[in-house]
Amino acid sequence: MRTSKELESLLQRIDGKGYKAYKDLQGTYNLEGFHLAVDYVQGDPFAAPSRIRGIVPMKLSGFPRDTFNTPWKKQALKDFLTRNFDQTLKKEYPGAKGTGKSGMIAIDAPGQEILERTSIYIDSEKVEVRLEVGLPAGGRKILGRVCRKMLMEMLPPFIEKNLYYKNLDQKALWRRLQLREDQVALEAIMQEKGWIAFVRNGSILPRESGISQKPLTKGAVPFQSPRSMEVSVNLPNAGEMKGMALEKGVTLIVGGGYHGKSTLLQAIELGVYPHIRGDGREFVLTDPEAMKIRAEDGRGVEKVNISPFINNLPHQRDTKAFSTDNGSGSTSQAANIIEALEGGASTLLIDEDTSATNFMIRDDRMKKLVHKDKEPISPFIDKAESLYRDLGISTVLVIGGSGDYFDVADKVIMMDEYIPRDVTKSAKAIARQFPRERITDEAPFVKPRGRVPMKSSFPRDRKGIKLKTRGTKTLLYNRLSVELYGLEQLISPSQTNSIGEIFKFLINKKVDGEKDLYTLLQETFEIIEGQGLEGIASFKGHPGNLAKPRKLEVLGALNRYRNLKIK
């Protein structure tokens, strides 16, 4: 480990030289109150930024062990420190002038959700922050004095302010830990009771806008459970809490347009992640294996058994190993469901607004005109009951245009100006009053078999495998774009970064032409559980901008990779 004087001397020596001389900085330096590790240096001021770490020994940082002695405490603490560091930089860091990314200091900033991230690392020996920086340049010449000021004068106070326990807002930290403790306790209660979702009374579900996950602050109607669905739970810190519990089975959310149907479903679909205090959805929690399903016109499908939904295609086309480069709305939605079941989904979340109409329902008049022998699609309405009866798969559906679903629903919730009402009895009475000639599909629903990817699915060019991400919804494998817009519960670019790293790990170490996709992911996630995302990362320097995705989203990305070949 080098000294602070050596760092200062080095920066003086390379001042004014070509930018590549910054490579000499790589290494670890003992600065006052922390160690500075320069892990990776960018080759150009316009290139991807450099990566550094600020490391504070635990004897100096002083965090009590009971702030990080369980996985959920460690997750909450790392999230708290990441947010603090990000807010400090945005408020107090003036930046530095120069070319390209000169003077940038950034941490992987979280959104409303609390995710397992790599931006902060903590154990009994140390706590470290992982940052991206733009080393200052004028043109392509090193600004050594500016760099010295950035790393040796500006950065240390931020480290001391955010990585020393004594300097934190300790009450706020403990409130964050208590919130997470209550969320974990509620998750355990839900599992014990068999609830697939819980929505606390008083929750604020509407969002600020269609492009923001922040809560609507003006005019939002607080959530209030119907009496018949209201339950009470007792949590370690919040005490008694009341809210709506969704039981397993088939649940419909109905109501007029703009009355909050999709808003409720969207809150439920993102309830697979815990949320920060003030989000409004802190106690909207959902089955962690719930999967949002939609139609995706044009998506590729590779040897998926969609025969439970689509059979007897013209020209005797096989649907037990169905493949296409340009799926229709109905075939893509069928494939999405089967792939979700293959990945271990236990609850399906469906909104008719993003579904294929002919996949969801066929009314009596259409059945009279187009005979069943000429219609290859078995609509979802005919499968929802068998999905639950045979596989235990629950469904939550937003339905505004078809009362036929009253026949198969276990619970019907009507949203009335954002207030939910239990209208199950009324819906069942209407179903009896206006019976339909619906033929229930009695064929048992069988869990799909795993599909084995071929090693040839993942070609390498001369430089090996090149994976990049563009925001949250696009992954580039060499030059092939993998579009992830259909994965609505993928919410952070850092999760997409992790999916790219998992792709590399699978290709380099796991795909053998023998194991199916789910087994490959199970083995990979066992490594992640034991070693963190660092265990599978291939980054140059620290892996500071990764967030843990779910297996369901990783499998969804693999299924949307158009070069995937199944044995």
Given the structure tokens 């009971």, which residue do they identify?
66
Bridge partners, residue 137, by sequence: 142
**Taking each helix axis from N to C terminus, what angle separates 71-92 and 155-163, rounded to the nearest 10 degrees?**
150
**What is the reported pLDDT for 380?**
93
**What is the reported pLDDT for 442?**
65
**What is the reported pLDDT for 98?**
87
Pairing of strands 347-351, 394-398: parallel
Question: 557: helix, coil or strand?
Answer: helix
Q: Taking a C-beta distance cutoff of 8 angstroms, is the pair 262, 210 a contact?
A: no
Pairing of strands 141-142, 230-235: unpaired
Going by C-alpha positions, the residue among 155, 168, 48, 160 that lies closest to residue 93 is: 155
Alpha-carbon radius of gyration of the chain: 26
Bridge partners, residue 414, by sequence: 254, 421
Please state, in angstroms and as integers, the Cα–Cα distance from residue 219 to each residue in 204, 206, 208, 259, 417, following that order.
10, 10, 11, 13, 11
Read off the pTM.
Answer: 0.94
Q: Which residues contact 491 (CB under 8 A, 6 or more apart)?
A: 111, 113, 213, 270, 273, 472
Residue 554: both structure tokens together: 């990783």
Q: What is the DSSP string of 396-460?
A: EEE-SS-GGGGGT-SEEEEEETTEEEE-HHHHHHHHHHS--------SPPPPPPP-PBPGGGS--
Measured in whole angstroms, how far is the alpha carbon of residue 271 from the centre of its chain? 11
Given the structure tokens 């199970």, which residue do they identify?
522
**What is the reported pLDDT for 315?**
67
Task: For the chain, list residues with pLDDT below 70.
Answer: 314-316, 363-375, 438-442
Which amino acid belongs to residue 363? D
Domain ranges of the chain: 2-168, 245-449, 455-559
CATH class of residue range 245-449: alpha beta
Phi/psi of residue 491, each to 5°? -120, 0
Going by C-alpha positions, the residue among 564, 485, 480 that lies closest to residue 300 is: 564
Tell me how far apart the alpha carbons of residues 169 and 156 are, in angstroms, rounded to a whole number. Answer: 19
Q: Which residues contact 398 (CB under 8 A, 6 or more apart)?
A: 252, 253, 254, 261, 262, 264, 265, 350, 351, 352, 353
Which amino acid belongs to residue 520? L
Tell me how far apart the alpha carbons of residues 136 and 451 are, in angstroms, rounded to a whole number. Answer: 50
Alpha helices, H only, 46-140: 58-61, 71-92
Bridge partners, residue 18, by sequence: 141
Q: Taking a C-beta distance cutoff of 8 angstroms, is the pair 493, 468 a contact?
A: no
Going by C-alpha positions, the residue among 354, 356, 361 that lies closest to residue 378 is: 361
Q: Which residues contact 127 (CB under 8 A, 6 or more apart)?
A: 55, 56, 58, 61, 63, 81, 120, 121, 163
Q: Taking a C-beta distance cutoff of 8 angstroms, is the pair 127, 67 a contact?
A: no
From first CA to last CA, the distance across the chain in angstroms is 51
Tell me how far apart the alpha carbons of residues 411 and 397 are, in angstroms, rounded to a whole number. Answer: 11
Q: Taking a C-beta distance cutoff of 8 angstroms, is the pair 361, 402 a contact?
A: yes
Question: 302: helix, coil or strand?
Answer: strand
**What is the reported pLDDT for 440?**
59
Is the sign of the CA dihedral 368, 373, 379, 385 positive or negative? positive
Q: Taking a C-beta distance cutoff of 8 angstroms, is the pair 80, 173 a contact?
A: yes
